[in-house]
Chain A
């Protein structure tokens, strides 16, 4: 099956700094990737859809200037949390797309645990 590699798996940063999270598709080309956020004991909430070669599509309520998404190639999407604050501490997960082809699952990265102190 397809593999999505996410890095780093955890990061601790100081309030006000920026953090970059990488998501790579290792054995398939992804024109679309999805970024989710999960707070403790809550479900995954879609933050944005990353589109290769064009601007990301953000979900309602997600600050596009704070969560910068870049999808510069068919195998790499990045999420940068700018000027991070403690309330941004969460589990961030990327995924490859649910395909238009049946039985194509969404492939999740390992997730990144962000702690802002």
Chain B
């Protein structure tokens, strides 16, 4: 079983719609959860971090965490073509500050 799982996509949404990205993780002791955006040929850039159950909003982005279900999601409101990228879910394993990444979900926003 993979430690962090994501649907590879591609997820296609029309411009202005809400994009919903999902991630599950296997290690119950995980404490920190991150969403990164990666454009082709570039390094990942942090979009959101979340540490507690519930929702965390930052502009058009909302991260949701449910530790009981070992599930974390990212909602992107008013999706723009510039949001088209691969979104990586990452989990801090709680030891050594190492991040474990999911395979990423490709998002395509069509104008």
A residues lining the B interface (CB < 8 Å)? 32, 34, 42-46, 49, 57, 91, 93, 95, 97-100, 102-103, 105-106, 108-111, 113
Contact = CB atoms under 8 A, between A and B. Distances in A.
Interface residues of B, number: 22
Contacts of B59: none
B25 interface: no
Interface of B: 32, 34, 41-46, 49, 51, 88, 90, 92, 96-104
A110 B43 contact: yes
Given A44-B44, A97-B97, 16 more contacts: A34-B99, A42-B103, A43-B101, A43-B102, A43-B104, A44-B101, A46-B100, A98-B34, A99-B97, A103-B49, A108-B44, A108-B45, A109-B43, A110-B42, A110-B43, A113-B41
In the A-B complex, the 10 residue pairs with the closest CB atoms: A108-B43, A105-B46, A43-B103, A111-B43, A43-B101, A44-B101, A98-B97, A97-B97, A43-B104, A93-B43
